[in-house]
Chains A and B, each alone.
Chain A
């Protein structure tokens, strides 16, 4: 930097708090989620003095974190959170860990006690950078106001590039008051951090060699395709079209490939479809795009897709060969790599192979209809509730979030997505209580959309207080609770794996969700009759304010199909549609 530019940038001297706000504006941030406290009051003062950045006041810091995640995942932008020191920061630990596991770009600004008090066990002091070091992509403690602007911009750069993730910026109160120069976001260059995005040409050719010879190929796509942006989904669709290969996806990747496409096999993994898991097991060439061979996906590792050559596209080199050895590693941004594969396929004038034998095998697996469930006229089946929810909202601009458990898996199985960024769920960390605040974050970004949190009665109570936030900001999220009065997934594992000893998994003393909704100023609906379900869902969709929908469902329903622990993809347990054996066994114990 020469002398003149230096003079220009130092011309404006701002307080640390003003630098934070200015940096947010320059980073294109329009909404932040937060909660004030002693150590961030100067920044809240700066918020008070401007209109460019909207602040959404939450009821608990964890809520702010998940809102920012929902906002980020539905827009492709970076989520931003502002919380105070001590408990404000520790309450953010769960969403930070959640965002790290699911690769969600997020910048978390935390207040800290003044620098001269750091280490003295001051009021509301905690070692925020120490605590978040292990669960954030990166973090900073800003001890000098002259570094603040650079660090703010660097935080956004690190959070949004490469494999996205949460970055924490811890700012002591005296640094927020101190005056310093502001520098703009341009020319952010990191000395040691420069993620690779362009694929290696030779690897692309090796991959196409494999794909061109494949007789039983499968494309296994993941959350990385969503993170990479709309271009990656478009490139995935184009490649699938050019090759005619079947496509499956992880929980995190739903929506990147349209569920209505005949090449779509449904989700794979522990509760994935029979055809997707068997195709994974029996394939001869696997193209893994932006997925990480998670243990919920692979099942038993030594029996995972034993006969296949594997191509793995990932922007994070450490994901490659982490759980599963691959034959062709491609370190790159998903969009760039998929485009390069498509281009190489076209350049070699490769035709779409017929794959007749392979598709007939897949069709045979499909014919097992592994997501089918026994219908009932007496009680609402949870799968039926999701199916109706899907059918009755198909013509709307819909975004779905979930909590964690059985309802999450049923939502993934029975709600179908045509576009990316429409499905927000806590896949890696599995955070109960994610869905309600995430829905609020989504709604804050998409005012006119229909945002539904498909929830469970246990999960939803973990962050229920954010109903108050939804009401305050007029964010009409729909909380669709599949209420079976159990921690359903815990109950299911206890039934199948722990000798039906239902230890602490029954939801005693559930609140009256209708009254609860009304107490918050929202609207409550209860439905326990399959015949009335459609009307109740229509009522929910038509209500212009936050709704708690208490959908009373079959209590003992289990989530099938399922790959049991330590089993391979082709050892799936299917729910028996005719026998109803599991439900009976469960019902006895309810």
Chain B
């Protein structure tokens, strides 16, 4: 065996000997991860959600939250809002791979930082009596949470807002007797007069 002489631009790393023996390139690169919120307008046909979710698992993408509901009954279309994260390159691929799915009509970046308004709703059940109960109710007013059910020993709060606000509210409720929690995941829409259907 002879090794061909190197010509021109030498690669940064030396020979391949240190790598595990493999027919694949095993090098991994660490890059900065960022979060992105995408809205997918899809044809509301059976299995469309499975296609979208399956794409994320098949290609190793993250899903941080996902919400879906029909938005136009006549046009038969649904809106899926996905919060995902990855490197810039991965996020671009996610968008393109989503568009490759036959029933996906549009993919819009509705991330907060690019002019999207993000909202989430949570139902928070807090059980307790006495001082803690009073404190929970007082804090809920600061967060503009509504009480939607009450017993002598519990409240259920409905709170909406950006995810961080809900996170904060939940952290405050924990020591006050939080027993159950249900969150919708993020919804998002672009600011301004333009509409996307």
Residues of A within 8 A of B (CB): 129-130, 133-134, 137-138, 141, 158, 190-193, 274, 278, 281-282, 295, 299-303, 306-307, 316-318, 320-322, 368, 493, 497-498, 561, 564-568, 570-576, 579, 581-582
B residues in contact with A497, CB < 8 Å: 21-23
Q: Please determine whether A295 and B25 come into contact, CB atoms closer than 8 angstroms.
A: yes
Residues of A within 8 A of B25 (CB): 295, 299-301, 565-566
B6, B12, B24, B99: the one within 8 Å of A295 (CB): B24
Closest to A489 in B: B23
Q: Closest Cβ of chain B: how far from A369's Cβ, in Å? A: 12
Interface size on B, residues (CB 8 A): 41
A565 touches B22 (CB 8 A): yes
Contact A573 B3 (CB under 8 A): yes
**Cα of A498 to Cα of B47 in the assembled complex, Å:** 44
- Chain A residue with the shortest CB-CB distance to B106: A192
Once the chains bind, are B11 and A302 in contact (CB under 8 Å)? yes
- C-alpha gap A493/B20 in the complex (Å): 13
Q: A138-B102, A317-B96, A581-B1 are in contact. Are A571 and B22 (CB under 8 A)?
A: no
Enumerate chain B residues within 8 angstroms of A302, measured Cβ to Cβ: 11-13, 27, 29
Nearest to B19 among chain A residues (CB) is: A566
Q: Which residues of B contact A281 (CB under 8 A)?
A: 7-9
Known A-B contacts A137-B102, A565-B26; the reply to A278 vs B7 at CB < 8 A is yes
Interface residues, chain B, CB within 8 Å of chain A? 1-4, 6-9, 11-13, 15-16, 19, 21-27, 29, 42-43, 46-47, 50-51, 54, 58, 89, 92-93, 96-97, 99-100, 102-105
B27 touches A300 (CB 8 A): yes
Are B4 and A572 neighbours in the complex by a CB distance under 8 Å? yes
Interface of B: prevailing SS: loop
Q: How far is the CB of A365 from chain B (nearest CB, A)?
A: 9
A193 closest partner in B (C-beta): B102
Verify A192–B102 contact, CB threshold 8 A: yes
19 other A-B residue contacts (CB within 8 Å) besides A133-B51, A191-B43? A192-B42, A192-B105, A274-B4, A281-B8, A281-B9, A282-B7, A299-B25, A302-B12, A302-B13, A303-B12, A307-B8, A318-B99, A368-B4, A497-B23, A561-B4, A570-B8, A571-B6, A574-B3, A581-B1
Which A residues touch B97, using CB under 8 A?
A: 318
Selected A-B contacts with CB under 8 Å, 15 pairs: A133-B54, A138-B102, A141-B46, A191-B43, A193-B102, A302-B13, A303-B9, A307-B8, A318-B100, A321-B89, A497-B21, A565-B25, A566-B16, A571-B15, A572-B4
- With a cutoff of 8 Å between Cβ atoms, the chain B residues found around residue A134 in the complex are 54, 58
Measured CA separation A114–B57 after assembly (Å): 31
CB distance from B196 to the nearest CB of A (A): 14
